[in-house]
């Protein structure tokens, strides 16, 4: 790189750099670092996001070569089950410390794509099927990380909802689901947490590769949401750079050895590419590099910090476990073990008990500083004798009768059996999607055999994406969903099993009854480079609710070792009419302290728009001692109440009655309150192509056309005919009235009327 008179930290010095240097700032220096030029420093970007993956040996983006040890917090799919933004923010801050210690300036996360299908191969890296939950938790993560002077890279923007054909497939989606479901979390995080970078995804949207999409990278991201950071490509997403730069991409990663930089210089020289665009991109990269460099801190990852981060990973793991089911046996709940009346031994079964499945495969694969074994910690925390048998293998080699017999014998001799089931690491990874929801047959066979000799059976599940739990639910009286919990998962599981921690996690995705019931079933993963998002707005619970489908476990579900009662709810609009505040009293009616996540879902029963029966618009939590009561206040903001109006191309708060349901899950609603919002009417200018129905909704037109219409529909003749006529007429375009009126209404009259009412 050539060197230039050092300048201030402004951007003018970047504009003064030779074109070759400005072009070079738009691509990497190598696999993980940006280019330096003039006095613009180079910075390091590194994968995560649930821990740092700073590679030590060779570089690759698939997580195959080794990386330095780092705390492995729960991956997004596990962590989201905590419904706890404060916890997520603390994890972000801890990650910043680890990044600072490793001299890393940007961590490549969070992944905030919506889990459109439970088969999505990277679902374990994403938070939820719901955009509100994703947006709130993603905001917390970015806020925590950036508070430590390390930048986030919000990814994968946008609609990277599957792995099949991921570098090319076009997600073909309508405008409302695009904005209301798939872009919504990105918008919230950009507006509230101001991430330093956004990562442009590999795929295309509605036929246009995102890297070429000015609409996404500039019109929506920058102009509509006010993003002022750097748009970086996913690794290897960019082929030809010119169109990407023109669309709003600032930084192509990783380095291609300089070929694209030369292409950019040539294109500017021959007038193909506007020089100013190249300069602006270089200025953005320079601003990022300077800001990140200025925020560098001395942090040492001494033993005490590693220990403290491990303790945080354990706390997060325990907080993220969902108690799916906890039936009674002999008049007592099966869990927690310490209170269930168990006096004899505990049979622990399944290889995941020894080495838990704690993260998924691919670029987010972290090399943990420590790894808790559930088995060791169960032994540690229980006074009762604990036996262990594998029962099956996770290498796909099928049923092993010897292993099975040993496990069954243990179960028969014990007071309770804890069976660890789940997907093996090679079943879930970046790069491919799953093809079904089933647990391996040998695992279900083992569970059946154990259940035949033991009534008290607890199943602990390890997996990223949703599983078919039909048979597990039939067989096991108690089930813990341990999802993927990071390096502290073993302790978290032991804490919840024994009762040290009272579980409070809630599902962040529906567990469907059958794959065929899932929203994207008929359109996933698409064909010939296209996948049609035919379910529209009806993603996740929005679909199961709209179709009134039975599910195995609903979105938001999660039991506790205590119980909670909800009082009547109150609600009122904000002073400016933009949002709603709801309040409800919650009482701990059981015998243990516990935390309840209170969920607020909104319905607009008289809406004129297509809407899901209810959508999550807010949540909060209360932690209560037995008998204690507290009021919780939840604010629902305008962004969570609006719909995207396709006629006007913007978000609109519809006037009318909003019903807010407060519940313990999406299908366990305990209280509701109605609030009227003034909202805003969308006035679309009337044309001769407008329908009579649309025109009559405008009072001045109704009045002007009233007499004529009365004659035509015959008003209500008493036999209901008039009413039907009016309905039929509602869909007639205005200019057709000229014909239907036999000429008594003229085009000139209509045009004059329209001019008057359109103003």
Kindly name the residue from 234, 250, 372, 468 that is annotated as catalytic: 234
Write each residue from 60 to 79 as x if it is in contact with ligand BGC (CB under 6 A), else as -, in one continuous string: -x------------------
Q: Report the DSSP pairing between strands 170-172 and 530-532.
A: parallel
- Please give the residues from 533 up to 592 whose contact with ligand BGC meets the rule CB under 6 A: none
Half-sphere exposure of 650 (CA within 13 A, CB side): 12
CB of 122 to ligand BGC, least distance (A): 8
Burial class (CB in 10 A: 0-12, 13-18, 19+), 734: buried
- Pair 353, 392: CB distance under 8 Å: no
- For residue 117, the minimal CB distance to ligand BGC (Å) is 18
In the shown chain, the binding pattern of residues 315 to 354 toward ligand BGC, with x for contact by CB under 6 A and - for none, equals ----------------------------------------
Provide, rounded to whole angstroms, the least separation between the CB of residue 705 and ligand BGC.
57
- Rounded to whole angstroms, the Cα distance separating 523 from 164 reads 12
Percentages helix, strand, coil for the chain (3-state, rounded to 5) are 35, 20, 45
Minimal distance, residue 118 CB to ligand BGC, in Å: 20
Q: How far is the CB of 84 from ligand BGC (least distance, A)?
A: 24
Q: Please identify, using beta-carbon distances, which residue of 233 and 588 lies nearer to ligand BGC.
A: 233
Q: CB 371 → ligand BGC: shortest distance, Å?
A: 23
Nearer Cβ to ligand BGC (47/315): 47
The least distance separating ligand BGC from the CB of residue 111, rounded to whole angstroms, comes to: 7
Cα–Cα distance list, 447 to 212, 417, 428, 451 (Å): 51, 10, 22, 6
Q: Are 632 and 564 in contact (CB under 8 A)?
A: no
Asked whether position 661 contacts ligand BGC by CB under 6 A, the answer is no
Q: Give 155 or 451: the residue with its C-beta nearer to ligand BGC.
A: 155
Total interface residues for ligand BGC by CB under 6 A: 7
- Please, which residue, 157 or 235, has the CB nearer to ligand BGC? 235
The answer to whether the CB of 387 falls within 8 A of the CB of 345 is yes
Report helix angle 401-413 to 441-453, nearest 10. Answer: 30
Cα separations (Å) of 428 from 337, 425, 506? 31, 6, 22
Q: Which of 80, 197, 255, 363 binds ligand BGC (CB under 6 A)?
A: 363
Contact between residue 484 and residue 124 where contact means Cβ atoms under 8 Å apart: yes
Please state the closest distance from residue 430 (CB atom) to ligand BGC, in A: 6
3-class secondary-structure state, position 712:
helix
Cβ closest to ligand BGC, residue 66 vs residue 398? 66
CB within 8 Å of 506: residues ≥ 6 apart: 81, 83, 322, 556, 557, 558, 597, 599, 665
Q: Which is nearer to ligand BGC, 197 or 621 (CB)?
A: 197
DSSP code at position 222 = I
- Give the C-alpha distances (Å, rounded to integers) separating 657 from 192, 353, 363, 402, 674: 28, 51, 46, 63, 7
Among residues 72, 96, 108, 353, the one that binds ligand BGC under rule CB under 6 A: 108
**Residue 576 in contact with residue 514, Cβ under 8 Å?**
no
DSSP string for 387-429: EEE--S-SSS----HHHHHHHHHHHHHSSEEEEEEE--GGGSB
Looking at beta carbons only, is 151 or 374 nearer to ligand BGC?
151
Among 21, 47, 250, 481, contact with ligand BGC (rule: CB under 6 A): 47
Q: Would you state the structure tokens that stand for residue 94, as one six-digit string?
A: 């801890």
234 a catalytic residue:
yes
Q: Which of 89, 234, 596, 654 binds ligand BGC (CB under 6 A)?
A: 234
Binding mask 146-175 for ligand BGC (x = CB under 6 A): ---------x--------------------
Reported as type and span, the H/E element at residue 636 is strand 629-636
In this complex, which beta carbon is closest to ligand BGC, that of residue 97 or of residue 125?
125
Name which of 234 and 654 has its Cβ closer to ligand BGC.
234
Distance CA 240, CA 263 (A): 9
Structure tokens at 523: 């359109």
In whole angstroms, how close is the CB of 305 to ligand BGC at the nearest point?
25
Output the smallest distance, CB 518 to ligand BGC, in A: 24
Residue 216 DSSP label: I
Q: Which of 235, 420, 601, 658 binds ligand BGC (CB under 6 A)?
A: 235
Catalytic residues: 234
In the complex, which residues of this chain contact ligand BGC (CB under 6 A)? 47, 61, 108, 155, 234-235, 363
């Amino acid at each position: 790189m050539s060197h230039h008179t050092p300048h201030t930290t402004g951007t003018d010095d970047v504009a003064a750099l030779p074109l070759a240097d400005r072009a070079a700032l738009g691509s990497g220096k190598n696999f993980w670092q940006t280019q330096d030029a003039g006095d613009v420093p180079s910075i390091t970007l590194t994968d995560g996001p649930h821990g740092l993956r700073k590679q030590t040996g060779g570089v690759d983006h698939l997580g195959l070569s080794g990386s330095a040890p780092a705390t492995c917090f729960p991956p997004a799919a596990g962590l989201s089950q905590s419904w706890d933004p404060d916890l997520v923010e603390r994890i972000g801050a801890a990650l910043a410390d680890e990044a600072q210690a490793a001299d890393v300036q940007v961590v490549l996360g969070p992944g905030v794509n919506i889990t459109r299908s439970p088969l999505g191969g990277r679902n374990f890296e994403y938070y939820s099927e719901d955009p509100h939950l994703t947006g709130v938790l993603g905001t917390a993560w970015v806020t925590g990380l950036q508070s430590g002077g390390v930048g986030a890279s919000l990814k994968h923007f946008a609609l990277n909802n599957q792995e099949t054909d991921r570098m090319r497939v076009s997600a073909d989606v309508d405008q409302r689901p695009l904005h209301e479901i798939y872009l919504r979390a990105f918008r919230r995080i950009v507006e509230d947490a101001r991430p330093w970078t956004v990562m442009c995804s590999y795929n295309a949207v509605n036929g246009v590769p995102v890297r070429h999409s000015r609409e996404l990278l500039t019109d929506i991201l920058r102009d509509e949401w006010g993003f002022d950071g750097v748009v970086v490509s996913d690794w290897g997403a960019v082929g030809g750079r010119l169109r990407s730069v023109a669309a709003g991409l600032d930084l192509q990663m990783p380095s291609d050895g300089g070929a694209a930089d030369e292409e950019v210089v040539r294109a500017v020289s021959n007038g193909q590419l506007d020089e100013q665009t190249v300069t602006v991109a270089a200025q953005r990269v320079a601003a990022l590099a300077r800001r990140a460099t200025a925020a560098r801190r001395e942090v040492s990852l001494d033993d005490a910090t590693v220990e403290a981060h491990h303790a945080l990973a354990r706390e997060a793991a325990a907080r993220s476990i969902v108690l799916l089911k906890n039936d009674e046996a002999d008049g007592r709940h099966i869990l927690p073990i310490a209170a269930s009346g168990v006096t004899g031994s505990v049979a622990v079964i399944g290889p995941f008990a020894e080495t838990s499945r704690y993260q998924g495969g691919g670029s987010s694969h972290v090399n943990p500083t420590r790894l808790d074994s559930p088995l060791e910690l169960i032994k540690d925390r229980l006074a009762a004798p604990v036996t262990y048998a594998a029962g099956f293998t996770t290498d796909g080699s099928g049923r092993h009768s010897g292993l099975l017999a040993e496990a069954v014998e243990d179960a028969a001799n014990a007071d309770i059996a804890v069976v660890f089931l789940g997907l093996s690491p090679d079943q879930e990874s970046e790069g491919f999607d799953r093809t079904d929801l089933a647990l391996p047959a040998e695992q279900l066979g083992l569970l059946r055999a154990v259940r035949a000799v033991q009534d008290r059976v607890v199943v602990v599940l390890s997996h990223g994406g949703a599983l078919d739990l039909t048979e597990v639910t039939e067989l096991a009286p108690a089930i813990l969903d341990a999802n993927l919990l990071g390096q502290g998962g073993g302790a978290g599981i032991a804490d919840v099993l024994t009762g040290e921690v009272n579980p409070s996690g809630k599902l962040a995705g529906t567990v469907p009854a059958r794959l065929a019931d899932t929203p994207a079933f008929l359109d996933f993963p698409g064909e010939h480079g296209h996948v049609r998002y035919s379910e529209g707005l009806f993603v996740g619970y929005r679909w199961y609710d709209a179709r009134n489908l039975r599910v195995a476990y609903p979105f938001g579900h999660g039991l506790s070792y205590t119980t909670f009662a909800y009082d009547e709810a109150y609600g009122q609009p904000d002073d400016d009419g933009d949002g709603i505040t709801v309040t409800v009293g919650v009482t701990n009616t059981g015998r243990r302290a516990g935390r309840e996540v209170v969920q607020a879902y909104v319905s607009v029963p008289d809406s004129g728009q297509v809407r899901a029966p209810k959508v999550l618009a807010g949540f909060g939590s209360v932690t209560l001692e037995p008998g204690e009561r507290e009021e919780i206040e939840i604010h629902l903001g305008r962004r969570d109440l609006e719909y995207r109006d396709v006629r006007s191309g913007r978000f609109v708060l519809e006037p009318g009655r909003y019903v807010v349901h407060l519940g313990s899950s999406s299908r366990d609603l305990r209280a509701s309150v109605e609030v009227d919002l003034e909202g805003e009417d969308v006035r679309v200018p009337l044309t001769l192509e407008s329908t009579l129905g649309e025109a009559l909704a405008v009072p001045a037109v109704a009045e002007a056309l009233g007499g004529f219409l009365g004659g035509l529909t015959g008003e209500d003749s008493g036999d209901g005919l008039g009413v039907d006529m009016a309905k039929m007429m509602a869909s007639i375009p205005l200019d057709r009235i000229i014909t239907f009126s036999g000429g008594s209404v003229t085009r000139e009259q209509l045009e004059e009327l329209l001019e008057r009412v359109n103003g």
